[in-house]
Amino acid sequence: MLVTLSTKRIMRIPVSEGNVIAVLATLQALSLTDTKSVIELRLSRIAIRVSGCMLILTGVVKLLSAAGNSAIVKTLDPIFGVPFEKIFLFVGLVELIVGTVCLFGKNVTIQVFLLVWLSTCILIYRLSLYWIGWVKPCSCLGNLTGSLHISSKAADTIMKVILMYLLIGSYAMLFLLWRQGKRPAPAP
C-alpha cells in the first residue's frame, strides 16, 4: 500500500507492517506543518493586500500633491536637492506600482521583496533627514494636509505608523519566506 501526501512535492511512502508508526508520525508532522504554513501564507497575503492599499492611497496623495501649487512642492528636498514636486511624482509612481503589484500580483516572493525594498528605502530617507538635522514634519502628504484639515504633525505621525507597519510586516513576511524555504511549501 502507498500513501500519497498532498503538498507541492508529492511524497509516496511505501507502507508495510514494520513502518506504520513511522508513516503515521510523518503524516502527523507534515499535517501540522502544512496547516501552519497555509495559515501563515493566508495571513501574509492579507498583510500584502493591506500594504498594497496603503501604498496606492499614499501614492495617489503624493501625485495629487505634486500637481498642486503650494509652496511645499517648490521647496528643495534637503537630501536630493530637487523640488519636492519631482520627489512626489517619482515616489508616488513607485508607490502606485508596488501597491498595484501587492494588490493584484500572484507571486508572494516578489511582493514581499518589493515591500522590503520600498520600506527600507523610505526608512533610509527618513533617517537621512534626521541625520542632517531636518526637524520639520515629513511633507510626504504635500498640500493635502490643509485640504483634509490635518496638522502636518498628525500627517507625519500617520506616515510614521504606515512606515512601521510596512517595515515590520514586510520583514516578518521575508522571515516566513526564508523559513518556508527550509521545508516543503503547502499547496495554496
Backbone phi, psi, residue 34, to 5°? -65, -45
Q: Does 17 fall in a domain? A: no
Q: Which three cell numbers, joined as nine digits, stand for 86?
A: 519631482
Q: Does 21 fall in a domain? A: no
Q: Does 185 fall in a domain? A: no
The DSSP-derived string for 127-166 is HHHHHTT--SPP-TTTTHHHHTT--HHHHHHHHHHHHHHH
Q: Does 130 fall in a domain? A: yes
78 with 132: CB under 8 angstroms?
Answer: yes
Q: Does 170 fall in a domain? A: yes
Structural domain containing residue 131: 47-180
Beta carbons within 8 Å of 151's beta carbon, 6+ residues apart: 145
Q: Does 119 fall in a domain? A: yes
Q: Does 131 fall in a domain? A: yes
Q: Does 25 fall in a domain? A: no
Number of domains in the chain: 1
Q: How would you write the pLDDT of the chain (188 residues) with one tens digit per residue?
A: 444 444 444 455 555 555 656 655 555 555 545 566 777 778 888 999 999 999 999 999 889 888 877 777 888 999 999 998 999 999 999 999 999 999 999 999 999 999 999 999 999 999 999 999 988 777 766 666 777 778 878 888 888 999 999 999 999 999 988 887 755 444 44
For residue 46, the one-letter residue type is: I
